[in-house]
Structure 1
Amino acid sequence: MPGNQILIVDDEIGIRELLSEILQEEGYSVRLAENANEARKQRNQHRPDLVLLDIWMPDTDGITLLKEWGNNGQLTMPVVMMSGHATVDTAVEATRIGAVDFLEKPIALQKLLATVQKALRPSVAQLRPELNLSSLGKGQVILDLKKQLERVLPLKTPVLLVGESGVGFEACAHFFTGPGQQFIAPENVEKALDAPSELLQQATNGVLFLREIGKLAPRSQQGLMQVLGKLEKHNVRLVMATSRPPADVLQDRTFDQGLFALIANLQVALPPLRTHREDVPELAVQLLRQQVEQKRVASVKFDIAALNALRNHDWPGNLEQLQNIVASLAATAGSEDISAQDVNRLLAPYVVKNTLGAADALDLPLREARDIFERHYFEHHIKLENGNMSRVAEKVGLERTHLYRKLKQLGIRFSRRGSAE
């Protein structure tokens, strides 16, 4: 609808200007980008309602940029691809990745306007995944996380989010963004910190989110120090994240200890997905629904056993791994129902890879090492016996009442009727 902001990405200035003129005459607000780098900046800084994206560009092509946005959770707006030389396969690939439509050049006036209007309809725009805490889950663990974030929200101190890779750093960082505020999250943090003044200018009166600051090179650390010194001047709220344990950063001689003291005053720990497994089934259904509604895959759904199998997995890659697994299951589904067998087949390599080894156990306190081993041990037998607790008890040599107490102690969910949960 008129008033929406549209980003046009095309390396040909004539096409950019022509489309811009047409859309502005219709009342749309238009921004232009001649390449992928400029498109990234415009997308992060201005959050367009729609992107018209050319496929063939000299540095990074449109398909690659579309994939990048999708993989990084940044495909939060409808994207219409444009090309004068694309094949049917290219158009299908773009749609599978997440494009909502395709325009063939030369673009007819009525076709352009109809496509833009269609892409901006609520039925299409509502398909955009929102980055907020509900995308991490709705259980007690996430509610507790929300309370922590609410306590630090009024403070102006830079916030450091700490947790394992893939736990949802950006979703939490968005929590600090108020109505109308811009959210700047550079993909290449080190490159962005090479120009701290430009970065601050982009983030003025908004939120600046910097990923993996615990791995910054010395030169980038200097840039971050400059950013810290000018946050108040530019009215910028700084939120950072690291999957590297703070203790490891402190022991790293290449990391400026004075800088770390400045950025680590206010830390919020993000929980790994395995600590709130009860959220996994609903998250998986939500992620699959997005795949289907965006027409990336055919209409499929999880059966109960499949959701159960997903919930019982350890998820070492956390939410990011769950997103990838759901996408793979949706793309390779052989029928309308995704089964537990489908899930277990796909997760099998991860289960083997992440089983605790003797060398790992030697580095842990005895009680923690024993608990991890026992959890793997009982989960293995529950899965092996398809959740039949009578057979599990017989296999491990425990009375059922003793087995139930043990599973409850280890935080393993199960059903006394026989099916593991």
Structure 2
Amino acid sequence: MARILVVDDEVGIRELLSEILYDEGHTVELAENAAQARAARLRMRPDLVLLDIWMPDTDGVSLLKEWGSQGLLDMAVIMMSGHATIDTAVEATRIGAMDFLEKPITLQRLLKTVAAGLARGRAPHPAPAATHPAAANATVALEDELDPPVLATAPANEVPVASNGQLGSISLDQPLREARDEFERIYFEYHLVRESHSMTRVSERTGLERTHLYRKLKQLGIESARKRST
């Protein structure tokens, strides 16, 4: 799971990208302008930023230049636009953007580009002369290193947690989406109780923007503090 910041002045695009990325298991934060993007970048330290080029205050290319000049491009940045020219896309790539998505963005193209951005972000920074094709295997090797098989290092007499097809009260024999919904329901109910149903604290604790948090609770059938108080 990665931390992804979506920066776009169109609320419909922000919400659509947020829903898709959240369903993929990522933590998503939204910003509608450069000021919010700056604050969110400092607060959440994203692994990847989806950055719209045309915004009313500071455009995406200018914000990209700003981050680059301040040494803040320590995350993958993917530019988005429905009106950008080839020259704009090339300039953004030269400044430090990893890729460019043209609107309307297809689901397949979005997921493929995000996956590539996150994979590149996890890979070790190569030395300047490291341009050999074999470097392309670095991502696969890194994934193997980050996710070693659990059973390979477990004691021989230790029974795996999910050996009976259950993870706590969650059945692992059901479709992924249903199992994930059960986990998320338990997860959010736990944090609601822990934070005395303070949506502000739950939002901070879970890393979800409040609007998205309310929508997720409604989707899971969980009563929020707002409903309980009525």
- TM-score, normalising length: structure 2: 0.53
The answer to whether structure 1 residue 40 and structure 2 residue 9 are counterparts is no
User: Over residues 299-349 of structure 1, what are the superposed CA-to-partner deviations in whole Å (9 max), with x where a residue is unaligned?
Assistant: xxxxxxxxxxxxxxxxxxxxxxxxxxxxxxxxxxxxxxxxxxxxxxxxxxx
Contact kept, 8 Å, 1:77 with 1:125, in 2: the verdict is no
Contact kept, 8 Å, 1:6 with 1:50, in 2: the verdict is yes
The answer to whether structure 1 residue 66 and structure 2 residue 64 are counterparts is yes
Q: CA deviation at 1:126?
A: 3.6
- 2:83 is matched by which residue type in structure 1? H
Secondary structure of 1:73's aligned partner: coil
Q: 1:104 to 1:42 in 2, by over 3 A?
A: same
CA distance in 2, matches of 1:123, 1:82: 18
User: Over residues 324-379 of structure 1, what are the superposed CA-to-partner deviations in whole Å (9 max), with x where a residue is unaligned?
Assistant: xxxxxxxxxxxxxxxxxxxxxxxxxxxxxxxxxxxxxxxxxxxxxxxxxxxxxxxx
The answer to whether structure 1 residue 87 and structure 2 residue 85 are counterparts is yes
The answer to whether structure 1 residue 98 and structure 2 residue 96 are counterparts is yes
User: Over residues 181-207 of structure 1, what are the superposed CA-to-partner deviations in whole Å (9 max), with x where a residue is unaligned?
Assistant: xxxxxxxxxxxxxxxxxxxxxxxxxxx
CA distance in 2, matches of 1:85, 1:125: 32
| Corresponding position of 2:21 | 23
Q: 1:124 to 1:16 in 2, by over 3 A?
A: same
Q: Which has the larger radius of gyration?
A: 1
Q: CA deviation at 1:122?
A: 4.2
CA distance in 1, matches of 2:40, 2:9: 15
- 2:71 is matched by which residue type in structure 1? G
Contact kept, 8 Å, 1:55 with 1:62, in 2: the verdict is yes
Q: CA deviation at 1:127?
A: 4.0
In the alignment, structure 2 segments of 5+ residues that lack a partner are 127-230
CA distance in 2, matches of 1:111, 1:125: 21
CA distance in 2, matches of 1:20, 1:100: 20
Given candidates 30, 46, 49, the residue that maps to 2:47 is 49
Contact kept, 8 Å, 2:9 with 2:55, in 1: the verdict is yes
Work out the percentage of aligned pairs sharing the same amino acid: 68
Structure 1 runs, 4 residues or longer, greater than 6 Å off: none
Given candidates 84, 89, 109, the residue that maps to 1:111 is 109
Given candidates 3, 10, 13, the residue that maps to 2:11 is 13
- TM-score, normalising length: structure 1: 0.29
- 1:83 is matched by which residue type in structure 2? S
Contact kept, 8 Å, 2:76 with 2:121, in 1: the verdict is no
Secondary structure of 2:84's aligned partner: coil
Contact kept, 8 Å, 2:4 with 2:46, in 1: the verdict is yes
Q: CA deviation at 1:124?
A: 6.4
Contact kept, 8 Å, 1:119 with 1:125, in 2: the verdict is no
